[in-house]
């Protein structure tokens, strides 16, 4: 049987206040096309469906619209969705009875029965082949919060890591009991694994800090494939090709511009994973950085911007997102206006100006002065920060402007 593994859609995401709805819609349209072209039997989505716990109406419309189209186009397609750390578990789980009636299984939070025991019927999800037979059983574990974990009192054990290990062990034991002959055992997760390449926008502290990264041997044994979410950079974990982050299908920050956006097409033969094929997701909006690395002087930057291609009719929705990096000796208040003027009529949309200064960016309170931050006056803090950032003293005009601001703040506080 064939399944597609994807994660970290982040529907409702904005990039520097620019909505990404059209990019997400293009991805979802492409995903439906791929499901049909590859004759896929199941779709597994591993968390962070939404960018926030309270998604916009547009984000929810994309989500429910995709599910409706998937069911209409592919009545036999199995769909499994688990919750991530960005998702509201309660929001995802609320329509679960309705989704289940249409063959969609959603596990937003770790499900328990009225007595507090794991709800095995929701945690162990069968996936079916084209002929209707069960091809795999999935230990459908969502993002685990500390409250989901049993207490661990043994000395020398990390209670969070050990709690997750025991939670997975318990679910996998039950999943093995339910696996028939020729059925593959799969697992899901939305977590940070040891050895994973971190992405800038992925929260590292989703369990309790970097020291709580989960060891890959949680999935040792007969688990044929582990579908992971959370890290936006697609990767196999610990050299194990069957334990994978699919990555985000849409770059979620300018720093992710070079990340390969993809989904994983997984093929199962009996109880084994026979292959994993990475399929690139087309980008509808490019991301540019000028220069590719480092920074340019203002004159060099403006010259490069002038050489960009001109905008054409119909480009508005697909203008590349642009970050520029400029080397400065001191703050330039008119810099953004000059950059915007240079981009007038060009095929680019300015998202971010990244300045580089000659300072050391050292701490404000230094051992040499013998003063802590609480011992410094407001002016001393400002001067030290300016020196650290720019590598020089502030001018008399800058200091005068600073004192005017301090006076205005004092008047507002008094009045």
Check if the beta carbon of residue 3 is closer than 8 Å to that of residue 43: yes
If one counts every other C-beta atom within 10 angstroms of the C-beta of residue 97, the result is 9
Question: Taking the complete model, does pTM exceed 0.95, yes or no?
Answer: no
Percent of the chain with pLDDT over 90: 67
Give the pLDDT mean for 106-130.
Answer: 95
Is residue 393 predicted with pLDDT exceeding 90? Answer: no
pLDDT bucket at 200, cuts 50 / 70 / 90: low
Is residue 129 predicted with pLDDT exceeding 80? Answer: yes
What pLDDT does 208 receive?
52
Give the span between the Cα atoms of 116 and 26, in whole angstroms: 41
3-state secondary structure of 199: coil
- Among 210-219, 254-263, 283-292, 333-342, the least confident range: 210-219
| Cα–Cα separations (whole angstroms), residue 329 to 291, 302, 391 | 18, 17, 8
Give the span between the Cα atoms of 99 and 405, in whole angstroms: 56
179: left (phi over 0), alpha (psi -120 to 50) or beta: beta
What pLDDT does 133 receive?
96
Q: Whole-number mean pLDDT of the chain? A: 89
More confident residue, 376 or 297: 297
Is residue 37 predicted with pLDDT exceeding 70? Answer: yes
Is residue 365 predicted with pLDDT exceeding 70? Answer: no
3-state secondary structure of 283: coil
Percent of the chain with pLDDT over 70: 91
Give the span between the Cα atoms of 313 and 256, in whole angstroms: 28
Check if the beta carbon of residue 229 is closer than 8 Å to that of residue 5: no
What pLDDT does 368 receive?
46
Separation of CA 94 from chain center: 23
Is residue 282 predicted with pLDDT exceeding 70? Answer: yes
pLDDT bucket at 206, cuts 50 / 70 / 90: low
More confident residue, 207 or 391: 391
Q: State both tokens at 12.
A: 């409702």
Element (H, E) at 321: strand 321-327
3-state secondary structure of 215: coil
Check if the beta carbon of residue 47 is closer than 8 Å to that of residue 190: yes
- Among 132-141, 291-300, 324-333, the least confident range: 324-333
- Among 9-13, 139-143, 153-157, 360-364, the least confident range: 360-364
Give the pLDDT mean for 224-241.
Answer: 93
Give the pLDDT mean for 356-382.
Answer: 67
Helix, strand and coil in the chain, % to nearest 5: 35, 25, 40
């Amino acid at each position: 049987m064939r399944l597609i593994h994807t994660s970290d859609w982040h529907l409702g995401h904005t990039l520097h206040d620019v909505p990404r709805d059209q990019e997400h819609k293009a991805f979802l349209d492409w995903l439906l096309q791929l499901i049909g072209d590859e004759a896929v039997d199941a779709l597994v989505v591993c968390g962070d469906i939404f960018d926030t716990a309270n998604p916009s109406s547009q984000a929810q419309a994309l989500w429910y619209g995709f599910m409706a189209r998937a069911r209409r186009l592919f009545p036999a397609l199995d769909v499994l969705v688990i919750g991530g750390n960005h998702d509201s578990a309660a929001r995802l789980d609320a329509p679960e009875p309705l989704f289940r009636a249409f063959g969609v299984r959603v596990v937003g939070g770790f499900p328990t029965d009225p007595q507090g025991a794991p709800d095995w019927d929701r945690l162990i999800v069968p996936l079916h082949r084209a002929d209707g037979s069960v091809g795999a059983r999935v230990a459908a574990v969502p993002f685990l919060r500390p409250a989901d974990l049993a207490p661990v009192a043994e000395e020398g054990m990390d209670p969070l890591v050990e709690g997750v290990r025991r939670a997975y062990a318990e679910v996998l034991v039950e999943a093995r009991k339910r696996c028939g002959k020729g059925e593959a055992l799969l697992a899901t997760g939305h977590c940070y694994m040891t050895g994973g390449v971190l992405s800038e926008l992925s929260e590292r502290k989703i369990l309790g800090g970097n020291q709580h990264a989960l060891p890959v041997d949680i999935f040792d044994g007969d688990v044929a494939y582990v579908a992971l979410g959370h890290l936006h950079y697609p990767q196999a974990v610990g050299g194990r090709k069957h334990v994978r982050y699919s990555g985000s299908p849409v770059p979620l920050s300018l720093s992710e511009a070079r990340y390969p956006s993809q989904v994983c097409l997984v093929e199962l033969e009996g109880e084994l994973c026979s292959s994993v094929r990475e399929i690139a997701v087309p980008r509808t909006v490019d991301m540019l950085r000028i220069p590719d690395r480092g920074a340019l002087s203002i004159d060099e930057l403006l010259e490069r911007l002038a050489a960009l291609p001109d905008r054409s009719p119909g480009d508005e929705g697909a203008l590349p997102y642009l970050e520029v990096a400029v080397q400065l000796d001191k703050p330039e208040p008119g810099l953004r206006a000059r950059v915007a003027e240079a981009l007038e009529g060009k095929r680019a949309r300015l998202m971010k100006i990244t300045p580089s200064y000659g300072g050391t960016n050292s701490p404000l309170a230094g051992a040499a002065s013998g003063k802590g931050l609480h011992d410094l006056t407001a002016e001393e803090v400002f001067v030290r920060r300016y020196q650290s950032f720019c590598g020089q003293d502030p001018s008399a005009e800058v200091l005068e402007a600073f004192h005017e601001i301090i006076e205005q703040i004092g008047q507002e506080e008094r009045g």
